[in-house]
Amino acid sequence: MNMKKIILIIPAYNESENIEKVVKSITDYNKKNKQIIDYIIINDCSTDNTKEILQKNKFNHINLINNLGIGGAVQTGYKYAFDHGFDIAIQFDGDGQHDVSYVESLIDPIINGNCNMVIGSRFIDDNSSDFQSTFMRRVGIKTISSVIKYKTKTKITDTTSGFRAVDRNIMKQFIQNYPIEYPEPISTTDVLMEGYIVKEVPVNMHERQGGTSSIHSWKNAYYMINVILSILTIRRKRK
């Protein structure tokens, strides 16, 4: 693939049904493609037996002593990636939704110097992904996409995608400032407002293989309103 050091940041909260399969998909991919893609699992104070599974299998992981939520867990992963000298960090869900075979598509634009962040999108075209979430969530994503475009002049089709690759410049920014709530759309807007270049590539995503999502339908309207208000109040910081 390349000589860059690549790491997958895998936030995990109560992923006992999925985490072994996720790690196996990574190790199988490395063997098949003769690659060295590292990973770090951030166990966000799971209340099931995720911690025991990580320890039993000696998976590379960090156990948080307090539940920080998805934003805090991912930020911990970025700090680990930056401190350990990785060139590119990729967010990778612990629930089996993300497909490791798309890693090369995610990192190529960064390696080629075309951008600082790449987002894996289900919505670039009608054939991007078999799994595209519920109708109401897609409506919310399109609405948030319009607000981000209004704010940054850049269209992002999959605003809530957690399948993202970033270079060391973005890692450094995320270590200093990463949103606890609504992390994907807010952090993407932050990056664009700071003048960095963000691209999207088509990816396929799968439905969660087990467990329960932290996002419930009754929260959708509340989520969308608060994301929009948060985006509209973002100001550029970098000079």
Instruction: Give the pair of three-digit tokens for residue 95.
Output: 């629930």
Task: State CA 115 to chain mean position distance.
Answer: 17
Q: Residue 224: in which H helix or E strand, if any? A: helix 220-232
Position 138 scores a pLDDT of 77
The residues that bridge with 165 in the sheet, in sequence order, are 90, 118
Task: Decide if 163 contacts 169 (C-beta within 8 A).
Answer: no
Question: Of residues 215 and 112, which shows the higher confidence score?
Answer: 112
Report field, pTM of the whole predicted structure over 0.85: yes
| Furthest CA-CA distance within the chain | 48
Q: Which of 108, 118, 9 is nearest to 60 (CA)?
A: 9
pLDDT attached to residue 92:
97
Q: What is the CATH number of domain 6-232?
A: 3.90.550.10
Residue 180: pLDDT band (50, 70, 90) is: confident
Residue 238: other Cβ atoms inside 10 A = 11
- 3 state SS of 23: helix
* The pLDDT of residue 148 is above 80: yes
Mean pLDDT over residues 142-168, rounded?
95
Q: What pLDDT is recorded for position 221?
A: 76
Confidence of residue 140 (pLDDT cuts 50, 70, 90): confident
In the prediction, which pLDDT does 237 show? 66
End-to-end CA distance of the chain: 34
- Write down the pLDDT at residue 126: 63
Q: Is the pLDDT of residue 230 over 60?
A: yes
pLDDT computed for residue 133 by the predictor:
63
**What three-state secondary structure class fits 81?**
helix
Q: What is the mean pLDDT of the chain?
A: 89
Q: How confident is the model at residue 217 (pLDDT cuts 50, 70, 90)?
A: very low
Separation between Cα atoms, residue 234 and residue 227, nearest integer Å: 11
Q: Structural domain boundaries of the chain?
A: 6-232
Question: Among 16-20, 134-138, 184-188, whose mean pLDDT is lowest?
Answer: 134-138
Mean pLDDT within 204-224: 64
Give Cα 27 distance to the centre of its chain.
Answer: 19
239 pLDDT above the threshold of 50 = no
DSSP-H helix ranges across 96-219: 103-111, 135-152, 168-176, 183-193
pLDDT for 71 equals: 94
- Tens-place pLDDT, residues 76-103: 999 999 999 999 999 999 999 999 999 9
